[in-house]
């Protein structure tokens, strides 16, 4: 019995140890595979880089559903694993390019960026952006004046945001209606 228990526990212990960056990459890769399998679609993405999603959306003339998310955010998981997988929302996702930007990712940037932020007293401060999470969080703050997750923007590569962004929405019908209205606006302009 003890040997059987050890055989079950030891692999779990080794699975929890290791390179943090690799484990984050695995989470992102598993998230992508999970979304594509559950949605039963051939994905055009999802993308985990805003700029790559934007370039691709231009090529295929589709709007981008930008989802600022957190790996450690329970409400983000509820949206992605619950709301996004409903038949109503899932069918609409075929009309968009999905882009997930994890604001808590610790993946190191190859070339850190230095930005300057003016605080509430008018003093400029230097801030070094070292991780992809910091990069996407800064993008969200600069473009949308918030750091809320989950936070969804339906974005036209030509004209910017199509509708007012939407945060955590536990009602799949409300989210589907928001998404449908934005998709219709994109294609009817």
Q: Global pTM?
A: 0.76
**Residue 55, pLDDT score:** 96
CA 153 to chain centre: 11
**Residue 28, pLDDT score:** 52
**Residue 189, pLDDT score:** 77
**Residue 22, pLDDT score:** 44
**Residue 30, pLDDT score:** 52
**Residue 36, pLDDT score:** 46
The string of DSSP codes covering the chain is -HHHHHHHHHHHHHHHSS-HHHHHHHHHHHHHHHHHHHHTS--S--BS-HHHHHHHHHHHT--EEEEEE-TT-HHHHHIIIIITTSHHHHHHHTTSEEEEEETT--PEEEEEEEEEEE-TTS-EEEEEEEEHHHHHHHHHHHHHS---SSEEEEEETTTEESS--B-----HHHHHHHHHHHHHHHHT-
Walking along the chain (189 residues) 10 residues at a time, the average pLDDT comes out as: 36 35 49 47 76 96 97 94 95 96 96 88 92 96 95 96 96 97 94
**Residue 11, pLDDT score:** 36
């Amino acid at each position: 019995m003890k040997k059987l228990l050890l055989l079950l526990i030891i692999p779990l212990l080794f699975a929890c140890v290791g390179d943090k960056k690799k484990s984050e990459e695995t989470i992102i890769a598993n998230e992508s595979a999970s979304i594509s399998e559950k949605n039963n679609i051939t994905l055009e993405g999802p993308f985990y880089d805003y700029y790559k999603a934007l370039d691709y959306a231009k090529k295929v003339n589709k709007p981008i559903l930008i989802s600022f998310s957190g790996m450690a955010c329970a409400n983000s998981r509820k949206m992605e694993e619950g709301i996004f997988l409903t038949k109503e929302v899932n069918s609409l996702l075929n009309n968009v390019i999905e882009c997930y930007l994890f604001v808590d990712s610790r993946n190191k940037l190859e070339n850190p960026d230095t930005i300057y932020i003016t605080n509430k007293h008018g003093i400029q401060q230097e801030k070094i952006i070292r991780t992809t999470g910091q990069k996407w969080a800064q993008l969200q703050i600069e473009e949308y004046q918030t750091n809320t997750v989950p936070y969804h923007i339906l974005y036209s590569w030509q004209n910017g945001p199509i509708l007012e962004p939407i945060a955590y929405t536990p009602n799949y019908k409300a989210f589907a209606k928001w998404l449908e209205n934005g998709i219709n606006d994109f294609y009817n302009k």
